Amino acid sequence: MKKVLIIGAGGVSTVVVQKCAALPEVFGEIVLASRTKSKCDKIATLVKAKTGREIVTEALDADNVSETVALIRKHNPDLVLNVALPYQDLAIMDACLETGVDYLDTANYEPLDTAKFEYSWQWAYREKFEAANISALLGSGFDPGVTNVYCAYAQKHLFDEIHTVDIVDCNGGDHGKAFATNFNPEINIREVTSEGRYWENGEWHATAPLSVHQSFDFPQVGEREMYLMYHEEMESLVENIPGLKRIRFWMTFGQEYLTHLRVLENVGMTRIDEVEYEGQKIVPLQFLKAVLPDPGSLGENYTGKTCIGCVIEGIKDGEHKRVFIYNVCDHAETFKEVGAQAVSYTTGVPAMIGAKMMLSDHWRKPGVHNMEEYDPDPFMEDLNKYGLPWQVEQWNSSVE
C-alpha cells in the first residue's frame, strides 16, 4: 500500500479522491491539500460517509515551493497527484525534485500572464527528473490523457502505420445555466479564445479562434458542430507516433455559449492583463471567474452525455483503415456515483488510473513522460473497470 498527496480541491479532485479511496489496496493513505482547507474537509467528509476511510486534509499554497516541500516532508508520500491549476505545475514539480517524489498532473503548464500552453516548460525537467531517479507523468486526464492512450493502443493493436488523428470532444449535456464552463472558467476561456493550431506534413498551422468548424455525428449524442482548437496532447503525439501526417483537435460548442463568449470578449471581460478599478488592480477574466457558476456545482441538474474519442486513419496489412475509439459518459450517472458532472469524472478517473499505474510500477521510469510512451493495455483495461468503458468502431466517414 502506498501514500498519495493530492493537491487541489475542485470538481476533478472530488472524483479523484473518491476513486482513490475505493482502492485501499493501492492507495493505503490519502492526504488532500488545497489553498482552502474547508474544501478539502468537505471532500473528506463525503469520502468518510461513503467508504468509512479517513482522509488527512491540509492547507497549502501550491505556488509556494518551500511550503509544498515542507508538506511533502511532513507526510512522505510516494506520489504527488496535481489536480490544482496548470499555473502551479512547475512549482509543484520543483517541490517534487527537492524531495525526490514522483509527480502526476492532468494538464500542462500555462503561465499566468500569457494565454499560452505547451509542454516545453515541463519537458525541460526531463534530465533533472532522470538524475533524481523520479518519474513525472504528464496529462493523465481524458484529453490529454485517455486520448493519448487510445492512440498508443491503436498503434500497438490496430494499425501498421497511423497517418491521421482527429481528437473529437463533445459535451452533449445541458446544465440549465445561461452561461457556465464545465471546468475552471479562467482556464477554459483562455483556451477557447486562443488561436487554433493543427499539425500537418511536418509543420504547425495556425487558425483564427473558432474559425474552422464542421458537423460531426457523435455516438449516443447526435450531430453537433465542432470547432478546431489547439490542445496539448497533439504536441506529444507528434513526437511519439511515427509516420503521422496530420493531427487535429476538435471541440463542440453550442451557439448560446459562443454568443455569450463573443459578447464577453467584445466588452473586455476575457482580458488577462490588469486594469485599474476604483484604485485597485484587477484582471477582468479572474473577476468573471468569480461571478460565474462553480463548475463543481453544475452536476445535480446536468442531463445528457459526453462523447470523446479519436478518429484514426492509416494502414493495416496493406489496406486503408479508419477507426473511432471513444467513450460515452452520462452526466446523471456520474453525479449519482460521485456527486460530480461527467466533465469532472472523465478527468478524475484517468488521474486515479494514472496514479495506480505509477504506484504499481506498471508505468514508472525516471524522467518526464507523456501517456502514450507507456504500454496502453493495463490502462485501457482499467478504464473499463473503473467507469470509462471504451469502444472501437470501424468507420467509413472521415473528418474533412
Q: What's residue 277's pLDDT?
A: 72
**pLDDT confidence bin for 112, thresholds 50/70/90:** low
Q: Is the pLDDT of residue 178 over 60?
A: no
Distances (CA, A) of 31 to 71, 88, 211, 217: 10, 18, 44, 42
Q: Is the pLDDT of residue 326 over 90?
A: yes
Which tens digit of pLDDT belongs to each residue from 274-317? 777 777 877 766 666 665 666 555 556 677 899 999 999 999 99
Which tens digit of pLDDT belongs to each residue from 350-381? 999 999 999 998 999 999 999 999 999 999 99
Please, what is the average pLDDT of the chain?
89
Q: Is the pLDDT of residue 258 over 80?
A: no
Tell me which residue of 392, 393, 366, 370 sits closest to 380, measured CA to CA.
392
Return the C-alpha cell found at 301: 441538474
Integer Cα distance of 141 and 138 in angstroms: 9
Higher pLDDT residue, 280 or 228?
228
The reported pTM is 0.91
Which tens digit of pLDDT belongs to each residue from 51-75? 999 999 999 999 999 999 999 999 9
Domains and CATH numbers, the chain: 146-340 (3.30.360.10)
Amino acid at 89: D
What's the mean pLDDT in 72-83?
98
